[in-house]
Amino acid sequence: GIIMTQIIISIGREFGSGGHLVAQKVAEHYNIPLYSKELLYEIAKKEGYSEKVIERYDEKPINIGFMPLPIAGGTIPLEQEIALKQFEFLKEKADNNESFVVLGRCADEILAYNPNLIRVFITGDKESKVARVMEREGLERKQAETKMRKIDKMRKTYHNFYCENKWGDSRGYDLCINTAKIDIDSAKNIIVEYEKSLHK
């Protein structure tokens, strides 16, 4: 049989850049799982959390203002517990030689030790992102801009809490793709071409 090289692609993304769509297309191309929300449900099943709890704390930065003081026995905030569970889950999959695409969740750094990891960041210009958010979520311009700022800030805070690489800083990625001028399929093709050229 053909020895398949493991493929792991982490995709960080600005809100409204179409990163989720790109991730879906890439996962379909290779016929491998995409971990975004699905990741949560797998962990919820495994760990016996309710999906609601996990969803509420997914990719959320720890709210420093309300950090509970560790009681004897050292509890950590639920956000952190869930983040760490996700990181463990991803490492386990990677170490089992499984291939997958993962959206966000610090995978660019958590899995950096794996030689097969390709780290991608999807960005866009403000106009194209606002337009996508307005259309996708049926929002007015003002609302779309506010939501973009809020979610990007949250993703950035979350990422930078756990990672040395700064969110969206090109040096932390192998490939940064701006979807303002190209469509989702083209973005997918760039990633696929990049992956191919690694094995030459």
Q: What is the pTM of this model?
A: 0.90
Are 11 and 117 in contact, with CB atoms under 8 Å apart?
A: no
CA within 13 Å, CB half, 184? 15
- Nearest Cα to Cα of residue 101 among 4, 20, 159, 156: 20
CA–CA gap between residue 36 and residue 103 (Å, rounded): 5
**pLDDT score of 3:** 57
* % of the chain beyond a pLDDT of 70: 92
**pLDDT score of 65:** 54
> 100 - beta bridge partners?
8
Q: pLDDT for 147-171, tens place per residue? A: 999 999 999 999 999 999 999 999 9
Helix axes 184-198, 19-30, angle to 10 degrees: 50
Cβ neighbors of 37 (< 8 A, separation 6 or more) are: 55, 58
Question: Does residue 71 surpass a pLDDT of 80?
Answer: no
pLDDT band at 86 (very low <50, low <70, confident <90, very high): very high
